[in-house]
Structures are given as structure tokens and as C-alpha cells.
């Protein structure tokens, strides 16, 4: 049961082209490059309101991938791609322009591409 204490699985669409960054770790011969990919993802929940009209509620999620997962995200995902994302929820704090802020993200552990948009295809 410990493996499911902080886990999330989402099915939705990539909201923007993944942003890739590289970080250097270590020095000299021990220097390595670590990759990180970040993208937003939309999930939709459909329901019928009191008037009998169909409504859609869209939630946006920030997803972060590291290492080999980041490389896969870079190769496979683009805006509009439908995916299943599995990972854990992580909250981080940072300061921007002298203001403390926090961000909640999904740290990717598993990725399944349900469809892949072709370049130039509308989202």
C-alpha cells in the first residue's frame, strides 16, 4: 500500500509543447547532464447541470519529467497529444520578484501516448 500513498493517474491532452532544460551535475570527469521536461496537461470532466445541459469542467495540471522520461516527452509529445500520465504529486516553493510562491506538479513516472498529433495538425 505504500506505493499508492502519493500516486496519481491522469488521462488528458497536452496543453503546450514540452519545454526541455538541461542541468549540469558534478565537475570534471564526474560531470553529467540531467534533462528535465515540463508541460501542462488538461483533463476534462463532463456532467449534466440542473437545466439538463451538458457541461465540461477542465482542470490544468503541470507535469515534470526527468532523465530518460524527459527525453521521451521531448520526442513523443506536442500540443494536443492525448496521454495517460502516472506519477506523484509534489509541491515546491520558490521566490519570484520578492514574493513567495508555491507550485503543485505531477512528477512523471509512467507515460502512455494514446494518440500522436502529426506536425501541422490542429489541436
Per DSSP, the chain holds a count of helices (H) and strands (E) of 1, 6
pTM of structure: 0.80
Q: Is the pLDDT of residue 105 over 80?
A: yes
Which domain, by its residues, includes 102? 2-113
pLDDT tens figures, 28-86: 777 888 999 999 999 999 999 999 999 999 999 999 999 999 999 999 999 999 999 99
Q: What is the DSSP letter of 121?
A: -
Residue 80, domain member (yes or no): yes
Q: What angle do CA 4, 5, 8 make, to 5 degrees?
A: 65
CA-CA-CA-CA torsion for 5, 91, 8, 44, nearest 10 degrees?
150
pLDDT of residue 29: 78
> Which CATH number belongs to the domain containing residue 8 in this structure?
2.40.50.140
For residue 106, being part of any structural domain is answered with yes
Beta bridge partners of 33: 24
Residue 118 belongs to a domain: no
Residue 123 binned pLDDT confidence (cut-offs 50, 70, 90): very low
Amino acid at each position: 500500500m505504500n506505493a499508492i500513498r502519493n500516486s496519481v493517474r491522469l488521462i488528458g491532452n497536452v496543453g503546450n509543447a514540452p519545454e526541455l532544460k538541461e542541468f549540469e551535475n558534478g565537475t570534471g570527469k564526474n560531470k553529467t547532464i540531467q534533462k528535465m521536461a515540463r508541460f501542462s496537461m488538461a483533463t476534462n470532466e463532463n456532467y449534466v447541470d440542473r437545466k439538463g445541459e451538458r457541461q465540461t469542467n477542465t482542470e490544468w495540471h503541470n507535469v515534470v519529467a526527468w532523465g530518460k522520461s524527459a527525453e521521451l516527452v521531448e520526442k513523443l509529445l506536442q500540443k494536443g497529444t492525448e496521454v495517460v500520465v502516472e506519477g506523484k504529486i509534489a509541491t515546491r516553493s520558490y521566490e519570484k520578484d520578492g514574493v513567495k510562491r508555491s507550485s503543485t506538479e505531477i512528477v512523471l513516472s509512467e507515460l502512455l501516448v494514446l494518440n500522436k498529433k502529426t506536425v501541422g495538425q490542429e489541436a
